[in-house]
Amino acid sequence: MKLVVLDRDGVINEATDDVIRSTADFVPIEGSFDAIARLCQQDYRVIVITNQSGIARGLLTIDEVNAVHQHMQQAVASVGGRIDAVLFCPHKPDDDCSCRKPKPGMLHSLMERLDIELNGVHLVGDSLRDVQTAMVVGATPVLVKTGHGARTIEENIHLENVEVYDDLAEFASHLLGTGEE
């Protein structure tokens, strides 16, 4: 099975210091939906994993998160792509849950659901916790410079073995060998 795992905020949509409560707050990064579509057209399954602590902090509801995810999935479908699943952690950073990245709970759940190992599967993110999460399960960490990615690269000197791309579109082009951007 060909699989790519994506972080949401900063990879698919613009990162913000505020909580994304509605579809109006969800601003896609240029080319991200098309990149997902191109991956799908080459038989990749695309899974999104995202921390959404705003739920536990009372800033948004699960229904609001689900509405944003449904909007994202419909927008990707409108350009010929598909997001096979969206997994999210609703907990606060200090809740000590097993699913909040950089802990691997969401990836363990994914591995169990799909009955696969994630060795070599690309996990694309914009933060150090995305890199750490990938490494815990043997996935291949990828950083994009969108969202918090440029700052993550600047602030962390031990990322020499991590693939870095300008954005999701450039990563997809590289993975697919198309050279398109």
User: Which of the residues are catalytic?
Assistant: 7, 9
Token pair belonging to 20: 């994304």
**Side chain identity, residue 139:** A
What residues contact 83, with CB distance under 8 A and at least 6 apart?
36, 46, 47, 48, 72, 73, 76
| DSSP assignment string, 153-179 | HHH-S--TTSEEESSHHHHHHHHHT--
For 94, other C-beta atoms within 10 Å of its C-beta total 9
What pairing do the DSSP bridges indicate for beta strands 2-6 and 85-89?
A: unpaired
Element (H, E) at 40: helix 32-41
CB 61 within 8 A of CB 50: no
C-alpha to C-alpha distances, 12 to 58, 88, 138, 164, 173, nearest whole angstrom? 24, 15, 23, 16, 15
